[in-house]
C-alpha cells in the first residue's frame, strides 16, 4: 500500500475469503440449528445486537440461540452475502452483509425480513472471529 492510502484498506484475497467465510459458517450453523456452533464463531466477549435483542458474551449468545432455535427460528434458514469488507489494520475488519431469515418454504428473503448487518471481525490464532454483530431492517417500516 502507498502512503496515500487511508487507514481502512482493501483486504488481501486470502483475508477477503477468510472473512467472507464467516457468512458461510453462520449459514451452516443456522441450518443445523447449532447454537454452540454459531456462538463459537464469536470471541469470548463478543456482542450481538438484533431488533429487541442485546447479548453480551459468547455464553449469552449461545443461550439466546439455543432458545430461539427451539422457538422463533425453528425450521428457518438464514442467508447472507458480503456487501463489502474494510480492513482496520492487519487483524481487524468490518464486514457488511445483506440477507435475512428464510421461513420454511421461502427461497428468498421477504422485504420485511431483509436485513443489513455490520460484523466487526478480529483475527484470533489465525481464525477470523466475530467481535460484534449488529443488524437493522433493510427497508423502512
**3-state class of 113 per DSSP?**
coil
Q: Which is nearer to another protein, 7 or 126 (CB)?
A: 126
Give yes or no for residue 83 binding another protein (CB under 8 A). no
Which residue matches cell numbers 440477507? 99
Give yes or no for residue 90 binding another protein (CB under 8 A). no
Q: Which is nearer to another protein, 15 or 117 (CB)?
A: 15
By CB atoms closer than 10 A (0-12, 13-18, 19+), residue 95 is buried
Give yes or no for residue 20 binding another protein (CB under 8 A). yes
Q: Are 128 and 18 contacting, i.e. CB atoms less than 8 angstroms apart? A: yes
Site for another protein in 21-40 (CB under 8 A): 21, 24-25, 27-29, 31-32, 34, 37
Give yes or no for residue 130 binding another protein (CB under 8 A). no
Give yes or no for residue 96 binding another protein (CB under 8 A). no
Contact with another protein (CB under 8 A): which of 8, 10, 17, 44? Answer: 17
Give the interface with another protein as residue ranges (CB under 8 A): 13-14, 17-18, 20-21, 24-25, 27-29, 31-32, 34, 37, 77, 105, 107, 126
Amino acid at each position: 500500500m502507498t502512503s496515500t492510502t487511508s487507514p481502512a484498506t482493501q483486504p488481501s484475497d486470502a483475508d477477503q475469503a477468510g472473512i467472507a467465510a464467516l457468512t458461510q459458517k453462520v449459514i451452516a450453523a443456522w441450518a443445523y440449528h447449532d447454537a454452540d456452533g454459531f456462538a463459537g464463531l464469536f470471541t469470548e466477549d463478543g456482542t450481538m445486537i438484533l431488533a429487541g435483542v442485546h447479548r453480551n458474551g459468547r455464553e449469552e449468545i449461545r443461550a439466546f440461540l439455543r432458545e430461539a432455535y427451539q422457538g422463533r427460528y425453528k425450521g428457518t434458514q438464514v442467508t447472507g452475502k458480503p456487501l463489502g469488507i474494510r480492513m482496520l489494520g492487519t487483524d481487524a475488519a468490518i464486514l457488511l452483509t445483506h440477507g435475512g431469515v428464510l421461513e420454511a418454504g421461502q427461497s428468498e428473503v421477504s422485504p420485511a425480513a431483509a436485513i443489513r448487518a455490520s460484523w466487526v471481525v478480529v483475527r484470533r490464532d489465525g481464525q477470523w472471529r466475530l467481535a460484534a454483530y449488529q443488524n437493522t431492517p433493510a427497508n423502512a417500516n
